[in-house]
Amino acid sequence: MTVAALFQSIEKGDLGAAEALLAADPLLADGRLENGVSLLLMAVYYGQAAIAGAIRAQRESLDIWEAAALGEVDALSALLTAEPELLNAVAPDGFYPLGLAGYFGQQEAFRWLLAQGADRDQVAENGMRVRPVHTIAAQRDPQLALALMTDLLTYGAAVNVSQHGGWTPLHQAADHGNLALVQLLLAHGADPAAQSEAGQTPIEMAAAKEFSAVVELLNSHAG
């Protein structure tokens, strides 16, 4: 029974295989890939909630990134009480607690981390170069994205910042057609004329997907 086998079950979404592996060797729940990322976090990354739950059931404790991604505030509190420097700690794959909580829509954990002083503008130390504003703008649930972004901007996060590809949060919101999020970002000074590395503006992205209300709103704020 190996870490590789459990990871394969995560990739395939095979809950039965994962449960069988964990039953045979519960210590696999503590397994990590060669890059240092835990199998529990990989299950969350792959959207395999049931497998993540099976792994979590075998774990007595979490690391800071797992706790953030799973939204376990009690675990976050215990970890930071013991080691306050973990608040903005960078995971083996370059991400950080606040960004993970935001990306996975863990609003309670996200708010709690902000209240503890988490870096609202921290940049991922990997090729994605995402900040919390980018991970939230990538949310597919428009209401959740709006709620999380409202929380973040209350703490003064920068909005005219780029991730991989030169996309700003406004590019992402426009590409998703999230009118309310576009409006919120504009109200906080987001630039509708900002260009991605491919030369596209948020207006052009919204127009390409025929989000007419978004295009109209962006044009009304264009210089």
Q: Considering its fold, how many domains does the chain have in total? A: 2
Among residues 126, 122, 97, the alpha carbon closest in space to that of 112 is found at: 97
Q: Are residues 162 and 104 in the same domain?
A: yes
Q: How confident is the model at residue 1 (pLDDT cuts 50, 70, 90)?
A: low
| Cβ–Cβ under 8 Å, residues 7 and 43 | no
Q: Note down the domain range covering 130.
A: 61-221
Look up the CATH number of the domain holding residue 6.
Answer: 1.25.40
Same domain (yes/no): 85, 132: yes
User: 137: which 2 tokens?
Assistant: 């703008």
Half-sphere exposure of 208 (CA within 13 A, CB side): 10
139 and 188 both lie in a single domain: yes
Tell me how long the chain is: 223
Average pLDDT over residues 125-148: 96
- Residue 12 tokens read as 């395939």
My answer on whether 50 and 72 are in the same domain is no
Task: Round the average pLDDT of the chain to a whole number and report it.
Answer: 97
In a shared domain, residues 202 and 140: yes
CA distance 123 to 76: 20
pLDDT of residue 71: 99
Task: Name which of 44, 9, 13 is nearest 23 in CA terms.
Answer: 9
DSSP structure class, residue 84: G
Q: pLDDT by residue (tens digit) across 152-181? A: 999 999 999 999 999 999 999 999 999 999
For residues 15, 144, 156 and 123, what is the CA-based torsion angle, rounded to 10 degrees?
30
Q: What is the mean pLDDT of residues 75-101?
A: 98
Q: How confident is the model at residue 222 (pLDDT cuts 50, 70, 90)?
A: confident
